[in-house]
Amino acid sequence: MVYGNAAQKQSEPAELITNTKGDLSSVVGMSMGPALWIVNFALIYRLNPSLAAEMPAEWAPIPAPVVQAIDSGDAQVPYSTVASYFH
């Protein structure tokens, strides 16, 4: 799929992308990038509209210390190391 391929290339190697809306930019996981989110929503809606209606309307960016931990290593960070950043 064209959108999936583009998102994958943008997010390598850590599976993180910058999502920009207006003047705000934040780091999110690849699946929350606009192109993939729209494709996923469309596929889920086509298969099960009631399930698609339960998809979150809002999302939160990945906390900066977590992004730094992911970027500084091999993209795998034990959850116990960063759990305190997710409240």
Beta bridge mates, 18 = 27
Residue ranges of the domains in the chain? 2-85
| pLDDT of res. 44 | 92
> What pLDDT digit, counting tens, does each position of 9-36 carry?
555 556 788 888 889 888 888 777 777 8
- Yes or no: say if 35 and 8 are a contact pair by the CB < 8 Å rule: no
How many Cβ atoms are within 10 Å of 18's Cβ, its own excluded?
A: 13
- Mean pLDDT, the chain, rounded, equals 81
Q: Span 71-86, mean pLDDT? A: 85
pLDDT at 76 over 90: no
pLDDT at 70 over 70: yes
Cα end-to-end distance, the chain, whole Å: 35
Report the alpha-carbon distance of residue 35 to residue 9 in Å, rounded. Answer: 13
Q: Has this prediction a pTM greater than 0.85?
A: no
For residue 56, give the DSSP letter: -
